[in-house]
Chain A
Amino acid sequence: MIAEALFFSAVLFTIGVVGVLTRRNAIIIFMCVELMLNAVNLSFIALSRLHGSANGQVFVLFVMTIAAAEAAVGLAIIISIFRHHKSVDLRNINLLKG
């Protein structure tokens, strides 16, 4: 049981990582980040159940809260970038170049 849950979590996380690394659309990258967060949440839940402890679930609640806040801020940034550049393709956005 635990093995399947962790395996699934790892697959989800990998999909998220690959998405972040390969895609160029800011929205998709953002979704991939959410995917990674949720993959971690899944492991937390699974391990919480394995150990019979509520700590994992508490962490998940925190992660979800932070993720919600981060989604709000992140989407706001993406919208403002879009307004400026008329695009959310990250290849065009390198204002922090040194």
Chain B
Amino acid sequence: MLQDLAAAGSHPLADTAARYVGLLPLLPLAGFLVNGALSLMPAYKAGPADPSTAGHGHEASAHAGDARAGDAHAVTHGDEHGAVGDDHHVVARHKYAGVASVVGPLVLALSFGLAVMIWLAMAGAGEMTTPYVQTFFDWMVTGDLKISWAFQLDQLSMIMVLVITGVGTLIHIFSIGYMRDDPGYPRFFAYLNLFVAFMLVLVLGASYLVLFVGWEGVGLCSYLLIGFWFSEKANADAGKKAFIVNRIGDFGFLIAMFLLFANLGTLDFTSVAAAAPTLGYNSALVTTICLFFFLGCAGKSAQLPLYVWLPDAMAGPTPVSALIHAATMVTAGVYLIARSGVLFAMSPTACITVAVVGTLTALFAATIGLKQWDIKKVLAYSTISQLGYMFMGVGTGAYAAGMFHLITHAFFKALLFLGSGSVIYAMHAAYHHTGSHEDAQDMRNMGGLRKYMPVTFVLMWIATLAIAGVPPFSGFFSKDGILSAVFARAQHGALSEATWLGMPGSAVLYALYGLGLVTAFLTAIYMTRMMLYTFHGPNRTGEAEQAHLHEAPWSMTGPLVVLGVLSAVGGWLNLPVAIPLGPIGVLEKWLEPVVGAATVAVGGAVGEEVTNTEYGLIGAAVAIAILGIVVAVVKLRPAALVPKRDATPSHGFEQVLEDKYYVDEVYDDTIIKPLVSGSRNILWTGIDRGIIDSLFVNGSAVLARGVGWVGSQLQSGETGAYAWAIAIGALAVLGAFTFR
């Protein structure tokens, strides 16, 4: 402990704001405790949540000046899952909703402020080559195992902390408007705060085990928030599905940790990085470890074949989808691989596997996204697809590019989700007002919303252009960074010389680059499709409802504006050499001390000179993106759409896409049903009832009774028989002593 302190004392970050790093997760945790306590108080206001009734008090009248207060006050978002049920949720504002509105976002804002202070300290400290590790206490000490509860600050975790707290704060503020009228409002903020606390533990943990605590914690919060409206079975099932699918991934994570500990005897990042070369370059062992880690990532970050939980996770409230299932938690897998860059750099096989799985996921999810009607489902598949891009980046050792896409994706995808939340809010308000039970999330019921929600409309177009990869928006730079990295790795470096499943690595990577371009094309199409169907063309909501469609309040559009600005200019974080519009590669240089060595080991040294090939790549990416948008605009006819209730079923491949390739059904038939029937017929009827109950439980009873019966027969009650027994016994003992 003293040594740790001494080591910390010599670190450039010692005696700066970094010493308060422990407060980062503690602040949201405190918010969780406060909000959790509030939610446990049985506190519903009597009467409808109507500001004009006397029973509602000051808190609601504070909103009376709001332009929408006159007609939208009675809206509850207790049910945005319109496809399943109706608006049966209680329309009642929690008595302590006001306190929760302050506490929930405030702790996040404080945490973000602290993060910014630490970042300023880190930026001011100059070159920082070793992480700043702060040990709080020894957590487990048994034999060789010594796990400390320690946090580690370096450039990588700093970036993650800034994204989590920054985007998290915006989403918390958005949630005030979005969730205010839900009776479970403090509970919502309690879960959200707890999630952020665990997420910060995940990115700050100084060892795999501390990371794993956060990893499991965010899984728990994800489960709780997906099933936030648990009174509807579909939502509760979606939560369970997410949790169970993630268990498969966590199994891989655990195995990888066991292997690491068994072979290196440590789980600390710094010690693992130091000892990693003893595993042997491209040995079977290091490949196994990396692939098991990647199994964990595939679960958490929704990659093939474990992506199925993420679309269902849209059953949660939309801010949850934005924060957990787009911006932060699902990127934990990308973070883990970047963090384990030292290990992955030693296994080209594992690297290419990661890149291949990521690319296939990106393509697969993008095709499904083409035919979804639920606006949140489109975004969900788009998230899976973009996560695939990130894995393509980190898989090819372009850690900075992968992290760059993670950051820009956090901006534009959070914006898209919150924008869709704003749309759903308006749709819901309109349907609620007329008492209609139409689906508020189905794009066939939208259309022409640009007239009613101009702010959301403009901001979501910015995010769409960003995700489609149109310059100069952020997504263009990050996606281009990944694609050109894949192309460069195909040309030279360790991966191009490796073989993967008997194929030359170079050929595989060229193929991945091609598929990446195809995915970019599809991305542009499905995102434009979503925008066209939602905001353009005629309105299909309904005559009566149109009067009630309106923009969301400022507490919701405010965060959208901030995210819109970030989505637009986020690309300047990491400009490529070929486009010198400002400082080049800021993020890459920032991350260099953490992932630089691994990047060079995988990709080889890259020259600074710009070649014609690079301009060609950039041109191709831009052309593809614009082509996708043009194709979508030319081909799609929003005017021809009919509302959901009048829609006819699609045919052929369209139907296959709409039904998501029947993957859920295939899993159901090949895994779940055999598992359930096997459990019922073999494990329950056969083993539990047949062997355990019959043989062991009842069998041992029968055996005991039999032995008892035999014993009772010996007790004849005849004194003579006892005397004989004693005599013979005495003789036997004597004989044994005599003749031994």
To the question of whether A and B form a pair in one complex, the answer is: yes
| A97 pairs with B724, CB closer than 8 A | no
* CA of A91 to CA of B719, assembled, Å: 8
Q: Is the contact region of chain B dominated by helix, strand, or loop, or is it mixed?
A: helix
Q: Please, which residues of chain A bring their CB within 8 A of the CB of B718? A: 90-91, 94, 97
Minimum distance in angstroms from A59 CB to a CB of chain B: 19
The residue on B at minimum CB distance from A90 is: B719
Interface of chain A residues 73 through 98 with chain B (CB within 8 A) = 90-91, 93-98
Contact of A20 among B715, B716, B723 (CB under 8 A): B723
| A93 pairs with B712, CB closer than 8 A | no
| B720 pairs with A98, CB closer than 8 A | no
The number of A-B residue pairs with CB atoms under 8 Å apart is 33
* CA of A90 to CA of B716, assembled, Å: 12
Interface of chain A residues 1 through 34 with chain B (CB within 8 A) = 17, 20-21, 24, 29
* CA of A93 to CA of B714, assembled, Å: 16
* CA of A95 to CA of B720, assembled, Å: 13
* CA of A93 to CA of B711, assembled, Å: 20
The residue on B at minimum CB distance from A94 is: B717
Question: Residue B713 at the A interface, CB < 8 A?
Answer: yes
> Most chain-B CB neighbours within 10 Å: which of A21, A24, A98?
A98
B611-637 interface code vs A (CB 8 A; 1 in, 0 out):
000000000000000000000000000
* CA of A24 to CA of B718, assembled, Å: 10
Contact of A98 among B713, B719, B727 (CB under 8 A): B713
Q: Please, which residues of chain B bring their CB within 8 A of the CB of A97? A: 715-718
* CA of A24 to CA of B712, assembled, Å: 23
* CA of A24 to CA of B715, assembled, Å: 18
The residue on B at minimum CB distance from A33 is: B723
A57-79 interface code vs B (CB 8 A; 1 in, 0 out):
00000000000000000000000
The residue on B at minimum CB distance from A32 is: B723
Q: Please, which residues of chain A bring their CB within 8 A of the CB of B712? A: 98
* CA of A17 to CA of B724, assembled, Å: 10
A21-B720, A90-B720 known; A96-B715 Cβ under 8 A: yes
| B715 pairs with A98, CB closer than 8 A | yes
Minimum distance in angstroms from B313 CB to a CB of chain A: 67
Q: Please, which residues of chain A bring their CB within 8 A of the CB of B713? A: 98
B681-712 interface code vs A (CB 8 A; 1 in, 0 out):
00000000000000000000000000000011
* CA of A75 to CA of B330, assembled, Å: 91
Q: Please, which residues of chain B bring their CB within 8 A of the CB of A93? A: 717, 719
| B714 pairs with A98, CB closer than 8 A | yes
Q: Please, which residues of chain A bring their CB within 8 A of the CB of B711? A: 98
The residue on B at minimum CB distance from A22 is: B720
| A94 pairs with B716, CB closer than 8 A | yes
* CA of A17 to CA of B728, assembled, Å: 11
| A96 pairs with B723, CB closer than 8 A | no
The residue on A at minimum CB distance from B713 is: A98
* CA of A98 to CA of B718, assembled, Å: 11
B58-91 interface code vs A (CB 8 A; 1 in, 0 out):
0000000000000000000000000000000000
Q: Please, which residues of chain A bring their CB within 8 A of the CB of B724? A: 21
* CA of A91 to CA of B712, assembled, Å: 19
* CA of A94 to CA of B720, assembled, Å: 10
| B717 pairs with A98, CB closer than 8 A | yes
| B727 pairs with A17, CB closer than 8 A | yes
Q: Please, which residues of chain B bring their CB within 8 A of the CB of A98? A: 711-717
Contact of A21 among B714, B717, B727 (CB under 8 A): B727
The residue on A at minimum CB distance from B708 is: A98
Q: Please, which residues of chain A bring their CB within 8 A of the CB of B719? A: 29, 90, 93
The residue on B at minimum CB distance from A96 is: B717
* CA of A93 to CA of B717, assembled, Å: 8
* CA of A97 to CA of B711, assembled, Å: 11
* CA of A94 to CA of B712, assembled, Å: 13
The residue on B at minimum CB distance from A21 is: B723
Interface of chain B residues 512 through 547 with chain A (CB within 8 A) = none
Q: Please, which residues of chain B bring their CB within 8 A of the CB of A91? A: 718, 720
The residue on A at minimum CB distance from B728 is: A21
* CA of A58 to CA of B720, assembled, Å: 32
Minimum distance in angstroms from A43 CB to a CB of chain B: 15
Minimum distance in angstroms from A33 CB to a CB of chain B: 10
Q: Please, which residues of chain A bring their CB within 8 A of the CB of B727? A: 17, 20-21
Minimum distance in angstroms from A85 CB to a CB of chain B: 13
Minimum distance in angstroms from A21 CB to a CB of chain B: 6
> Most chain-A CB neighbours within 10 Å: which of B714, B719, B724, B727?
B719
Minimum distance in angstroms from B716 CB to a CB of chain A: 6
Q: Please, which residues of chain A bring their CB within 8 A of the CB of B716? A: 94, 97-98
* CA of A97 to CA of B716, assembled, Å: 5
Minimum distance in angstroms from A6 CB to a CB of chain B: 16
Contact of A95 among B714, B717, B723 (CB under 8 A): B717
Would you list 26 pairs from A and B whose C-beta atoms are within 8 A, ordered by A residue?
A17-B727, A20-B723, A21-B720, A21-B724, A21-B727, A29-B719, A90-B718, A90-B719, A90-B720, A93-B719, A94-B716, A94-B717, A94-B718, A95-B717, A96-B715, A96-B717, A97-B715, A97-B716, A97-B717, A97-B718, A98-B711, A98-B712, A98-B713, A98-B714, A98-B716, A98-B717
Interface residues of A (CB under 8 A from B): 17, 20-21, 24, 29, 90-91, 93-98
Interface residues of B (CB under 8 A from A): 711-720, 723-724, 727
Instruction: Give 18 new A-B contacts, CB below 8 A, not counting A90-B718, A97-B718.
Output: A17-B727, A20-B727, A21-B724, A24-B720, A29-B719, A90-B720, A91-B718, A91-B720, A93-B717, A94-B717, A97-B716, A97-B717, A98-B711, A98-B712, A98-B714, A98-B715, A98-B716, A98-B717
Closest 10 CB pairs of A and B: A98-B715, A94-B717, A97-B717, A98-B712, A96-B717, A90-B719, A20-B723, A94-B718, A21-B723, A97-B716
